[in-house]
Amino acid sequence: MLDQQTEFDPVLAPPPVMRSAYGPKAPEQRAGDIAGMVSLRVRELFPTIAEAIYRDETHISKIREATRAALANVDMSMIGPTDSINILCSEHGFGIIGGHAYAEMLRTIRDVIEERTGNPNARLIVIAYVGFKESDEIIEYYDFETYFKGKVRGATPFDRGVPIETELGTLYGVAKVYNARWIIHCHYDDPREIYLHRMIDRSTKPFGMSYARFETRSIFHMTFGPRSGNLVGRAIAESKFVRDKLAFTCYMLSSPDGVTAIDADNELHAVGERVTVNVLRQYGKMLELFSRLKDCVVVLDGPKWPYYIHAGGMIFGHLLYNGRDWWDVQSDPKTKAELMGKAINPKFKAMVINQALIGLYFPMVCPTIVVGEMAEVMKRDFANPTFMDQAMTAPTLSEALERAKQIGGTDKVIFFDGTYGSINLSPSLAVELKTLAAGVDQLIEAERLPKWLKQRGIDPLKHGIV
């Protein structure tokens, strides 16, 4: 019964995120402005999900402590006091809970390198994709110019390349990434587009994406396709060129509850195995829960790329492409068309776009209502210039949501607005999620998790999984 809504928490305020030239102004209404909305804690659904050490900036000291603890086990003796060093980071890490945890990890790495090696030359390389202004926006927002004493550079896949000889032949990295004696691979385990990388070689993926020239990067998306594309990043990471430069790897680990730990190692694949185990275990339950939804209305409400906006630590892409178990790599259809055709989740009945960056196709998938000034942004979308020919508009979020519920025939609403730890949603959907969660924990822990790990050559017993 919906009078149970008093059991739920009030709406969780989304994390602050930097504004971008590629997105709209801050919206006038958010989930907390919509009457009757609530939030549901992910650990109320699944108490076995790892508890976060960081969910907002009040916990920032925990990130510095965890980073120092992880780096204590890393050998830095190869770094000389005058060697050049590039600390590599990627744009999507700054979309995780406002990006401040990732930024603090990077700052701490710089400090520890100087303390232990006497080398003050560590330079931060901030890599973004097609948005040429994104790197500069990130550098300014997190004041990296000051902290790194001017030793910070932005990079994109369209910058000058450097050839890298691999087992696949000559591939191309970004020269700004590799123009130092040592590189530090600093990333995060946010699973994001599991429908592409499938949690295969996740720790080497940035070498074929963030750190690669566009011609090489495009192989992953346009040439090889999802599973075989993973070979590109692995081939580059295992090349002599990269192995001779890679001093160590540092990863920010997470669960749907928030940032849970920092992991670091001189051995890239050792970190990679631990990242794989963590992601499959921590995110598999919420993925299964999303697959059990009967119907809902989606509200996109974050100034990031639409597929990567979080709700309770899960990106919208996890709901959009939830028509199959992407982590079972032994049950794929024979053709790519069949694979992707069955991937789109038909259970969300309408969509409201309150704010997001451009690059969307949703009016072709479901009824879509765009709020206020966001419609003007979408009219300028070079990736889909006819978007607003198909979409509807509404002056306010409240009006858009009422219309979407009427069109979709459901009062169940979920907000993708950047939250971790809790999902902002309607009471009716909160009740349904609590009901649907029954049995999911046992299914993942006892059946699917061991299977997923074995498919990737990982012994479950080694990680305490029976």
118-145 pLDDT, tens digit each: 999 999 999 998 777 899 999 999 999 9
pLDDT averaged over the chain?
92
Q: Name the band, by pLDDT with cuts 50, 70 and 90, for residue 219.
A: confident
The 8-class DSSP code of residue 21 comes to T
Q: Name the band, by pLDDT with cuts 50, 70 and 90, for residue 1.
A: very low
Whether residue 30 is found in the same domain as residue 72: no
* Per-residue pLDDT at 18: 85
The 8-class DSSP code of residue 97 comes to G
Q: Name the band, by pLDDT with cuts 50, 70 and 90, for residue 55.
A: very high
Q: Choose the weakest-confidence range: 64-73, 103-112, 340-349, 422-431.
A: 340-349
Whether residue 307 is found in the same domain as residue 403: yes
456 belongs to a structural domain: no
**CATH number of the domain bearing residue 169:** 3.40.50.11440
464 belongs to a structural domain: no
Whether residue 341 is found in the same domain as residue 273: no
* Per-residue pLDDT at 136: 96
Residues in the chain: 466
Q: Which residues contact 6 (CB under 8 A, 6 or more apart)?
A: none
Residue 407 three-state SS: helix
Between β-strands 161-166 and 413-416, what pairing exists: parallel, antiparallel or unpaired?
Answer: unpaired
Whether residue 230 is found in the same domain as residue 123: yes
455 belongs to a structural domain: no
CA-wise closest residue to 217 among 172, 167, 168, 165 = 172
Whether residue 174 is found in the same domain as residue 250: yes
CA-wise closest residue to 91 among 143, 146, 138 = 138
451 belongs to a structural domain: no
Last residue of a domain, one of 263, 281, 299: 281
pLDDT at 2 over 60: no
* Per-residue pLDDT at 220: 76
Domain holding 329, by residue range, is: 2-46+284-435
pTM score, whole prediction: 0.95
Q: Choose the weakest-confidence range: 124-138, 333-347, 377-391, 393-407.
A: 333-347
- Say what percent of the chain tops pLDDT 70: 94
Task: Determine the Cα–Cα distance for residues 316 and 17; give it in Å rounded to an integer.
Answer: 17
CB 426 within 8 A of CB 36: yes
pLDDT at 36 over 50: yes
Task: Tell which wins on pLDDT, 365 or 461.
Answer: 461
pLDDT at 17 over 50: yes
* Per-residue pLDDT at 336: 64
pLDDT at 315 over 80: yes
Q: Name the band, by pLDDT with cuts 50, 70 and 90, for residue 411.
A: very high
Q: Name the band, by pLDDT with cuts 50, 70 and 90, for residue 300.
A: very high
Q: Name the band, by pLDDT with cuts 50, 70 and 90, for residue 185.
A: very high
Dihedral angle of Cα 442, 188, 233, 381, to the nearest 10 degrees: 100
Whether residue 113 is found in the same domain as residue 235: yes
314 belongs to a structural domain: yes
248 belongs to a structural domain: yes
Whether residue 64 is found in the same domain as residue 189: yes
**Sequence-ordered strand ranges (E) for 175-223:** 182-188
* Per-residue pLDDT at 321: 86
Residue 137 three-state SS: helix
Dihedral angle of Cα 370, 375, 380, 386, to the nearest 10 degrees: 50
Tally of structural domains, the chain: 2
pLDDT at 3 over 50: no
Q: Name the band, by pLDDT with cuts 50, 70 and 90, for residue 226.
A: low
Whether residue 273 is found in the same domain as residue 407: no
Per residue in 316-366, pLDDT (tens digit) is 999 988 888 889 988 776 666 666 666 778 888 999 999 998 877 677 778
125 belongs to a structural domain: yes
pLDDT at 166 over 80: yes
Q: Name the band, by pLDDT with cuts 50, 70 and 90, for residue 5.
A: very low
Whether residue 140 is found in the same domain as residue 179: yes
Whether residue 408 is found in the same domain as residue 277: no
Output the six-digit token pair for 336.
């790519």
443 belongs to a structural domain: no
Whether residue 73 is found in the same domain as residue 34: no
Whether residue 251 is found in the same domain as residue 315: no
